[in-house]
Amino acid sequence: MFVEFIQARDIERKYEDDHRHLMNDPEFVRFIFASCTQQYLESSNFKDKSRQHVIYTLLMLGIKCRYGTDPDDLEKFHKYHRDINTERGTIKVLARETTTHCNCMNEAKDIAKTMDTDARCSGCKLVFLKATLKYCDGCQHARYHDSDCQRNHWFEHQFDCKGSIRAKAKEAKAKEH
What's the pLDDT at 4?
73
Question: What DSSP state is assigned to residue 103?
Answer: -
pLDDT digits (tens, 9 = 90+) for 14-33: 888 888 888 899 999 999 99
What pLDDT score was predicted for residue 142? 93
Q: What percent of the chain has pLDDT over 70?
A: 97
| pLDDT at site 67 | 94
- Cβ atoms within 10 Å of 15's Cβ, excluding its own: 13
Tell me if residue 11 falls in helix, strand or coil: helix
How does pLDDT run across 96-121, given as a tens digit for each residue? 999 999 999 999 999 999 999 999 99
What is the predicted pLDDT for the residue at 41? 92
**Pick from 63, 121, 125, 69: which is nearest to 90 by CA?**
63
pLDDT at 122: 95
SS3 content of the chain, % helix, strand, coil (to 5): 70, 5, 25
Q: Global pTM?
A: 0.77
Residue segments in the chain with a per-residue pLDDT below the cut of 70: 1-3, 5, 177
CA angle 32, 19, 75 (to 5 degrees): 60
